[in-house]
Amino acid sequence: MEHKVALVTGGARGLGRAIAERLLDNGLKVCIADIMEETGRAAAQELATKYGEERVAFECCDTSVEQQFSDAWTRCEEQLGKLDLLGGYITGSLLAFERMRSVGDDAPGVGGTVINVASIAAIKTLPFGPIYSATKSGVVGLSRALGHPLHHSLTGVKVLCLCPSLISGTPFLQCAMEKAFSPAVAKALQAAGGKIKPLTVPEVVEAFSKLLEEEVNGSVLVVEAGKEPYYSLPEIPS
Ligand SMILES: NC(=O)C1=CN([C@@H]2O[C@H](COP(=O)(O)OP(=O)(O)OC[C@H]3O[C@@H](n4cnc5c(N)ncnc54)[C@H](O)[C@@H]3O)[C@@H](O)[C@H]2O)C=CC1
Ligand SMILES: CCCCCC(=O)/C=C/C=C\C=C\C=C\[C@@H](O)[C@@H](O)CCCC(=O)O
């Protein structure tokens, strides 16, 4: 992976920040794309100090807005080179097929890999955020469909998906509790406290690395505390 270029969406903090650091450790160049400008710039600056200014970039954008994401992608490639790896979500996956495509005479990219972070909420019943579960199920479905050999033959791009259980040490769940849930649901969630052992961020980063190393197109890797990460859902026929 050395000298390859990765764009990590949501890389300003939490899991994305830790994944960005792991990729830098592995020799890649990394652009963080995040909506939080101050936090993102600070994270990128810290990483640039550690790994070298020429290996780190930051682009402020809302990755759910295609034009913003596409412009950030262009600026990232101007700074670091053609993208090989994307931590992507829905808009990103579709954009990757357009921008990373290495098949065909007019191919604009060098092929590569997209890793989408969904959640165990897409695999197991989690009642607290039904819309969240629905969107994460969408991410799994999209990743599996785009991860079919048909699409790889047309694009040279692989799509993989990571489904972590609850992670401690990121502000995510607290933010969801404060901003997204009704008081009754937040109370039920707290009452269930302690029943689920949370993962640590480094454990999820390890699972991310496993997914990237094994690189089985269309695969969905689940990671829960106290278990080895495991592939879920049936194999895609080749
Ligand atoms: N924290 C947890 O317990 C779990 C988290 N996940 C998933 O892992 C991923 C990362 O989660 P955390 O690191 O915990 O969250 P976090 O809240 O610490 O970090 C998310 C990052 O994404 C950025 N972001 C959000 N919307 C954006 C947008 N539209 N455009 C650009 N940047 C945007 C935020 O600014 C932030 O820097 C999320 O997709 C989450 O759903 C999955 C399972 C469990
Ligand atoms: C539904 C919105 C958040 C979903 C986060 C996610 O993707 C997956 C979460 C999986 C399990 C969540 C379990 C929640 C348990 C809580 O009741 C409590 O144990 C949380 C304690 C917080 C902590 O950091 O220990």
Q: What is the pLDDT of residues 33-86, one digit of tens each?
A: 999 999 999 999 999 999 999 999 999 999 999 999 999 999 999 999 999 998
Per-residue confidence (pLDDT) for residue 234, from 0 to 100? 74
Q: Is 82 exposed, middle or buried (0-12, 13-18, 19+ CB in 10 A)?
A: middle
Residue nearest to atom 42 of ligand 1 (CA): 119
Q: How far is CA 134 from the centre of its chain?
A: 17
Q: Is the CB of 15 under 6 A from ligand 1?
A: yes
Only one residue has tokens 């412009």, namely: 71
Q: What is the pLDDT of residue 180?
A: 83
Per-residue pLDDT, 236: 60
List residues near ligand 2 (CB under 6 A).
Answer: 119-121, 126, 128-129, 132, 165-166, 168, 173, 176, 189, 192-194, 196, 198
Q: Mean pLDDT over all residues of the chain?
A: 93
Between these two residues, 156 and 192, which has the higher pLDDT value? 156
Ligand 1 atom nearest to CA at 64: 29
Q: Specify whether the CB–CB gap between 19 and 208 falls below 8 A.
A: yes
56-60 vs 112-117, strand pairing mode: unpaired
Ligand 1: which of 15, 61, 120, 203 to mutate, most ligand atoms within 8 Å of CB? 15
Q: Determine what percent of the chain is predicted with pLDDT higher than 90.
A: 79
pTM of the model: 0.95
DSSP assignment of the chain: -TT-EEEEETTTSHHHHHHHHHHHHTT-EEEEEES-HHHHHHHHHHHHHHH-GGGEEEEE--TTSHHHHHHHHHHHHHHH-S--EEE-HHHHHHHHHHHS--SSTT--S--EEEEEE--GGGTS---S-HHHHHHHHHHHHHHHHHTSHHHHHHHSEEEEEEEE--BSSSSHHHHHHHHTS-HHHHHHHHHTTTSSPPBPHHHHHHHHHHHHHH--TT-EEEE-TTS--EE-SPPPP-
Rounded Cα gap, residues 165 and 2, in angstroms? 30
| Paired tokens of 116 | 């989408």
For residue range 167-219, list pLDDT tens digits in order.
Answer: 998 999 888 888 888 889 888 888 876 778 999 999 999 999 999 999 999 99
For residue 202, the model assigns a pLDDT of: 98
ipTM of this complex prediction, to 2 decimal places: 0.93
